[in-house]
Structure formats: structure tokens, C-alpha cells
């Protein structure tokens, strides 16, 4: 299946193609190498998304270019494909792009990085535009939900790293 937009990979460079709405949310997760390792693992293996309450359907144990993923929220099913990944000593994450059937058209990246002072951050960048009638009807409210989801990812990842045994879910 082809992607539903042309500028595949633009999130790697932080670009937002014309005609799309940008999203950029950066959340402080904690400090240190262990926090970075935990956060990276949670992002790369879909654990963050599942902890946020999103259903992830894929055959792959972790993100890799070309892996198809369906993101589910209730009845909503959103097919995507991993566009690119990064797994470096101070930076880890991936981006997926939308496939036919997704309510939006665009790309979203989830990146964990550890800065020079040891602070660990989750940065979610995206560009999107409505692809289905109900996404178009949602207008600004749909974009507000995207921002809220990105902020929620930061909160949940911080809790996951503070409590790696999973008690944060209770």
C-alpha cells in the first residue's frame, strides 16, 4: 500500500510540508542513562503506546522501517507504516506514516533524546491533514486531541520510567 502523502520522511528533518498542520510537543522525562534506556525501550517496542491506552497491532516486536502498524482507539483503526528509525547512544525512536484507511494523512515521530546535561526528553513531531470526512468535521478539535495525546504520552512515559515495574498503571 502506498503512503497517503508525498513528503515521506519529512519528520526526520523536522519539516512540515505545505498544506499540513504541524505538531511539536516536548516533554521532560527525567535524567540519566537508565531513564534514557527505559524510555527508549518503551518507545521502540510499542510499550508507551499500549500504556497510553492505544491498541497496537503489528507482527514486529519493535519499530523498524517498513513495518506495518495499525493503531486502534475504540472502533477507530488507523493503518500506518514505519518510515524511519533511530537507535543511537543519545537518541532513539521512530516515525510512522499514514496508509489508506487512516483518518488523517501525514507522519508522526516519537523521539527520546538525552541532552548534554543528562536530561531525557520525549519529542513528538508530526504533520497532518484530514483524510476522512469525520476528521475534517472535527477541525480544530481534532488537532487539539492530537496535542493532548502527545502531552499524555510524555506524562505516561515519565511515570513508566519512574516506576519500571508497572505499578504506575494502577
Query: 55-76 pLDDT, tens per residue?
Result: 999 999 999 999 999 999 888 8
pLDDT confidence bin for 167, thresholds 50/70/90: low
The confidence score (pLDDT) of residue 28 equals 98
pLDDT confidence bin for 17, thresholds 50/70/90: very high
pLDDT confidence bin for 170, thresholds 50/70/90: very low
- Other C-beta atoms lying within 10 Å of the C-beta of residue 147: 14
Q: What average pLDDT does the segment 19-37 reach?
A: 97
The confidence score (pLDDT) of residue 145 equals 87
CATH no. for 20-164: 3.30.530.20
Percentage of the chain lying above the pLDDT 70 cut: 96
Query: 74-110 pLDDT, tens per residue?
Result: 888 999 999 999 999 999 999 999 999 999 999 999 9
Element (H, E) at 66: none
| φ, ψ dihedrals at 99, nearest 5° | -115, 165
The confidence score (pLDDT) of residue 138 equals 87
The confidence score (pLDDT) of residue 163 equals 81
Task: Break the chain into its structural domains and give their ranges.
Answer: 20-164
Amino acid at each position: 500500500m502506498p503512503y497517503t502523502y508525498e513528503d515521506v520522511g519529512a519528520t526526520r528533518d523536522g519539516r512540515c510540508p505545505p498544506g499540513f498542520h504541524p505538531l511539536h510537543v516536548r516533554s521532560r522525562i527525567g535524567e540519566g542513562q537508565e531513564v534514557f534506556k527505559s524510555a527508549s525501550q518503551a518507545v521502540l517496542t510499542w510499550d508507551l503506546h499500549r500504556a497510553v491506552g492505544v491498541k497496537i497491532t503489528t507482527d514486529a516486536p519493535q519499530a523498524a522501517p517498513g513495518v506495518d502498524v495499525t493503531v486502534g482507539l475504540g472502533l477507530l483503526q488507523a493503518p500506518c507504516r514505519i518510515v524511519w528509525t533511530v537507535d543511537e547512544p543519545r537518541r532513539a525512536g521512530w516515525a510512522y506514516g499514514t496508509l489508506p484507511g487512516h483518518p488523517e494523512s501525514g507522519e508522526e515521530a516519537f523521539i527520546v533524546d538525552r541532552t548534554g546535561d543528562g536530561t531525557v526528553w520525549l519529542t513528538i513531531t508530526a504533520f497532518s491533514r484530514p483524510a476522512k470526512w469525520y476528521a475534517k468535521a472535527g477541525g480544530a478539535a481534532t488537532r487539539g486531541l492530537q496535542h493532548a495525546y502527545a502531552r499524555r504520552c510524555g506524562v505516561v512515559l515519565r511515570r513508566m520510567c519512574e516506576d519500571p515495574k508497572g505499578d504506575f498503571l494502577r
